[in-house]
Chain A
Amino acid sequence: MTQRVDHTQLTVAAAHVAAELHHAEQIAGRLTLSAKNAAAIVLRAGSQAAGLSVISHFYDELATETIKLSQTIHQRAVELSTIAVAEWRTSAALTRLGIAHAKTDPEHRATIDRLTANSREELEQTEHRFQHLLMALQNNLDTIQQHMRAVDVIAVTSRLEAQHAGDFRDGLIQMANLIQKQANDIKGHVSRSLRWLSQ
């Protein structure tokens, strides 16, 4: 028994994920810039912001890794969408073979039965690949969410630390706010992606 899967829906969902991650990647690019700016302010603040020098490194690392992850997910999502199209076409072929089967005399049905079996097998294989890729993709998305939660926590900490940074206080707080906003924007794109995949 082949289960009823809406391949159109899957294709569209995967394509949406690819697009969302494209945007996430662009924001992650801006996030690395913010991380570098934060590091520069920390450096200038010297002893006034000593507690922040480790923190600004964290931002940079997380942002750089997020860019890489976004690229991977984008690529995997396009692949997922392509596989969904392949499944879509195979299942369309199966439907047509069913019609051909009904229209063929019983003594000539062997060929159609063979083709149907082949298509079913192909569909099962692509379905397997699809599930495999889907899982990898969901893991990647979860990893980004974790990174962004970490950025969020660090931003809160650095705002507290910044209170003691004298002249650099306002600059550092502004930076932390921006970084937090960018992390949240990325989280938004990833959440939407996860929603697309769970539909």
Chain B
Amino acid sequence: MLARVIFEGDHHQWIMFGRDPDRPERIIDTNQYMVVSQGEALLLDPGGVELFAPMLAAVLKFVPLEKIRLLFASHQDPDIISSLGLWDQVLEGARLYCPWLWEGFVRHFGMHNIEFEPIPDRGGSMKIGDLELTLVPAHFLHASGNFHVYDPRAKILFSGDVGASLEPSGAPLEVEDFERHVPTMHTFHRRWMPSNEAKAAWIRRVSALEIELMVPQHGRLFRGADVKRFLTWFDALEVGISDDT
């Protein structure tokens, strides 16, 4: 599994994991992220059960196991958090931040040791090391209980399934030419995002943030002006449509 430091600050670090060449076929490619502050680590959307072993090995290159204090699940999908039952067996005293709505559902993945931290609908914050991260509501994008994570110091927005693109493996890490990137996002957003109203509310909320890097759970990362370009494109897109509708 590829591991890349995407932000290196004075006191904290963002690391991206993904593009696993040994990923079993027909499993959607995912990006996992880790934020390390003062030696403590938080895993954002730690991923599916099939990726657990390579993910664990990749994480241990950066931090010892006992320093993984927090997990965050933007929503309940299997590609996000079906590894929970395995993390549950290897982590001690860790907590999982997850939309309150999904507690009874994600517990089906197996959770006996990790503590559940329900995120209320209005959002809130979580602290790792001395870093405070904002939990930005992103309900119905696409799950009915859904959050993104904003780091005001690094100006990074973790945007879950929003901004996702589906490309053959080996694609570059970042968007290089926005217009050419659009076709890889189009179908995904039209079909998986169910609500124009929710989309508009999210764009309003996110536009107020200063974002230098937007990092989705699938596909390429958006840097600088491409974040704004994405918001403009997403704003104009009609969502909640399948080809049969």
Contacts and interface: CB of A to CB of B under 8 A. Distances in A.
Interface of A: 8, 11-12, 14-16, 18-19, 22-23, 77-79, 81-82, 84-85, 88-89
A102 to B, nearest CB: 21
Interface of B: 1, 22, 49, 52-54, 56-58, 60-61, 65, 86, 89-90
A85 B90 contact: no
Contacts of B52: 11, 85
B195 to A, nearest CB: 36
A130 to B, nearest CB: 12
B89 A18 contact: no
* The 7 A-B residue pairs with the shortest CB-CB distance in the complex, in nearest-first order: A19-B60, A18-B57, A81-B53, A15-B57, A82-B53, A15-B56, A19-B61
B52 to A, nearest CB: 6
Contacts, number: 47
Nearest to A20: B60
Given A8-B90, A88-B86, A14 B53 contact: yes
Contact of A85 (B1, B60, B86): B86
Contacts of B57: 14-15, 18-19, 77-78, 81
Nearest to A84: B53
Nearest to B88: A8
Contact of B54 (A8, A12, A23, A78): A78
Main secondary structure, interface of A, reads helix
A133 to B, nearest CB: 13
Contact of A11 (B22, B56, B58): B56
A199 to B, nearest CB: 14
A12 B56 contact: yes
A78 B1 CA distance: 9
A174 B1 CA distance: 37
A121 B15 CA distance: 40
Give the interface centre of B22, B57, B60, B90 by most chain A CB atoms within 10 Å. B57
A78 B89 contact: no
Given A78-B22, A78-B54, A16 B60 contact: yes
A181 B120 CA distance: 53
B53 A85 contact: yes
Contacts of B86: 11, 85, 88
A89 B54 CA distance: 16
Contacts of B49: 85, 89
A15 B1 CA distance: 12
A12 B61 contact: no
B106 to A, nearest CB: 18
Contacts of A89: 49
Contacts of B61: 18-19, 22-23
9 contacts: A8-B90, A11-B86, A12-B56, A12-B65, A15-B56, A16-B60, A18-B57, A19-B57, A81-B53
Contacts of A12: 56, 65, 90
A5 to B, nearest CB: 14
Nearest to A74: B57
